[in-house]
Chain A
Amino acid sequence: MIREALVLSEFVSIGLALVLVYFLLKICRFTRSISLLGLPIGFSHLALSYTFLALYLLYEENAIFSDSMLWLRLITQSFGCAFIAFSYYFTAKTDKPVRRLLMVISVASVLSILTFFVALLVTPPFLVLPSVQVAGNYSRVLNLVFLGYVVYYLVARLRSRDREFSDLVSAPIAFSVLWLAQYSLFIWGVDGSETAFTLAHVARLASLILFIGVYYSSGRVRR
């Protein structure tokens, strides 16, 4: 029963993330802005990570296949968070769109891959893959840093715009909830708490719904 609920939660997450990617790609196409592509790339990686987790849950009996799915899940999730964070970082740093996208892709890729090498190096025995649980905790710390940066960036921006507070508060809330989902997964990875595990899934679904809500509420623009 719990497994079915988890699979369902993964499929709902995939659907929500893909809807969000569709909206983001539509905006990139409409605005002809390639510098914004980091965000749909990031969320599509998150959708991929949910897919790998769903595949793991469905084929858990096949040890080699399910273990690979967990590794792919970790990598795509970290890639996703990195792409999202660096989209924000380079938005503030440069107004040259092509350069911005290239920087997002290169820095996000290098950092994500580097984390897994660090996980390999610091986990004994050396030159042997660490368990996926250990690597998972390293990657979650990295994801927390990435998402924490986005929350910090948006909150700092919010503080400078008192009059637009109610309009601009929804995105930092959505990212904070996504951060909470990662934090809960980290806690679950450390102590195996079922409450943290449940909270991680609920928070993830809530954050994706909030992002889609931001898109729909943007259609009701006040002038």
Chain B
Amino acid sequence: MTAERRTKFQIYLDILEALSDELKNDSELQLTKIAHRANLPYDRFRSYLDYLAQLGMVSSEPDGGLAVTEKGAEYVQELRRNSEFLRRMGLMQ
């Protein structure tokens, strides 16, 4: 059985959730680790991350790190609700 393809919004959700989880840890932020958690090749992960930064969901910190903005956090909340609704309605895996 083949795995169902993720939609773009599922990919954004995976990236933002992986990033939020990693930021909760005190250890140094590793983008390769987040890419791995979001199940994406690094180059594609970078292009999605740049796009999320353009949208104001992710911001660069002065120390070179990354942060999920308030807009990003709200977006994650809404994405979670929507994907959960679609899952419960049987329209998504």
Residues of A bordering B, CB below 8 Å: 23, 27, 30-33, 36, 39, 87-88, 91, 95, 153-154, 157, 167-168, 170-172, 214-215, 217-219, 221, 223
How many contacts between A and B, using CB within 8 angstroms? 56
The contact of B88 among A23, A87, A88, A214, by CB within 8 Å, is A214
The contact of A157 among B4, B86, B90, by CB within 8 Å, is B90
* A104 → chain B closest CB, angstroms: 12
B85 with A88: CB separation less than 8 A: no
B82 with A30: CB separation less than 8 A: yes
B91 with A39: CB separation less than 8 A: yes
Q: Does B84 contact A (CB under 8 A)?
A: yes
Give the residues in chain B near A95, CB-CB below 8 Å: 4-5
For chain B, which range describes its interface: under 10, 10 to 19, 20 to 34, or 35 or more residues? 10 to 19
Q: Does B24 contact A (CB under 8 A)?
A: no
* B71 → chain A closest CB, angstroms: 14
* B11 → chain A closest CB, angstroms: 12
Known: A170-B88, A218-B85. 18 other contacts (CB 8 A): A23-B85, A27-B82, A30-B79, A31-B7, A31-B82, A36-B91, A39-B89, A87-B91, A88-B90, A168-B88, A171-B89, A217-B88, A218-B81, A218-B82, A218-B84, A218-B88, A221-B80, A221-B84
Residues 53-93 of B, flagged 1 when their CB comes within 8 A of A and 0 if not, give 00000000000000000000000001111101111111100
Q: List which B1-49 residues lie within 8 A (CB) of chain A.
A: 4-5, 7-9
Q: Is the interface of A mostly helix, strand, loop or mixed?
A: helix
* A165 → chain B closest CB, angstroms: 12
* Cα–Cα, bound, A33→B82 (Å): 12
Give the residues in chain B near A87, CB-CB below 8 Å: 91
Give the residues in chain A near B5, CB-CB below 8 Å: 95
Give the residues in chain B near A30, CB-CB below 8 Å: 9, 78-79, 82
Give the residues in chain A near B84, CB-CB below 8 Å: 218-219, 221
Question: Which residue of chain B has the shortest Cβ distance to A164 in the bound complex?
Answer: B87
Give the residues in chain A near B90, CB-CB below 8 Å: 88, 91, 153-154, 157, 168, 171-172
